[in-house]
Amino acid sequence: MNRNLLIVVAVVVAVIGISILGAYLISKPSDGIIAGDRVAVIRIDGVISMDSGEGVFSTETTTPEEFKSQLDRALSDGSVKAILIEINSPGGSVVASEAIAEAIKEAKEKKPVVAWLGEIATSGGYYVASACSYIVADPGTITGSIGVISVFPEYSRLLEKLGINMTVIKAGEYKDFSTGYRPLTEEERRMVEEIIYDFYELFIAEVAQNRNLSVEHVKQVAEGRIYSARRAKELGLVDEVGTRRVAIKKAAELAGIEGEPHLVSYERKALFSEIFGTGMERLGYGFAKALLERDANPALR
């Protein structure tokens, strides 16, 4: 390949790169640029946890830090009149779920917050949803599972069969109760159950307060039971059964938005992904649009 051809290739690559970056920057949503009232969409996907669990084999998680970061942007964005929380989560950490629920309760004092329940919104996922101003459950949603669980694997018999002996040195009678090297004693079981029931009572009380239901009613429908969207509405756990579009319309209605609202999302993506995903998509759209306009206008031929 001669020197002149290398220069031509380099120039073409540079032009394409600059075009893609320009298309990305031009098309990238920015606070206050898009005209009209907007609804911010914040997703809660996967396990709700205090730790993002980033890694090669990690599963999808939502953390209070990540959620609050997006929520704060929605609250500070003057064009955002309502917030839609899309939930597709089986639950997770009690502390993390409580932190997100508290953030939602503070936010709805400033702007309407509507929850849309996707495929699953159970346990901590429902805990979070109950804090919203209004809940729309998709017809195919599984929700409920109001309860608390703690699992302690115990494999002392397996170790015995394998001929493995565990020597435990501890300071504190109960320090090794959750190691799995031995069965729980009755006293240890009671200790754990007391904590679990404390969390359970907190869960019940929060749902009752958030949904304006009696504690007795919530206890009757709790016990870890799961429900369809239709049944959840009958029990007062959700306000409406509908699609995501219904939830968006409700958010706009609560905010007094007339017409079709613009949607904005604050999800963070890697720059490479955004440039070569969104940028290429917008660039391709721009080229196609230019060609159509050229065909429609003889003066441009």
For the annotated catalytic residues, the residue numbers are 123, 175
B/e letters for 100-113, b = 16+ CB within 10 Å, e = fewer, are: bbebbbebbeebbb
Q: Interior CA angle at 245 toward 240 and 247, to 5°?
A: 40
Residue reference for tokens 């019940």: 204
Phi–psi pair at 119, nearest 5 degrees: -65, -40
> DSSP letter string over 179-207?
SSSSPPPHHHHHHHHHHHHHHHHHHHHHH
Q: 78 CB contacts (<8 Å, ≥6 apart)?
A: 32
> DSSP letter string over 253-293?
HHHT--SSPEEEE-----HHHHIIIIIHHHHHHHHHHHHHH
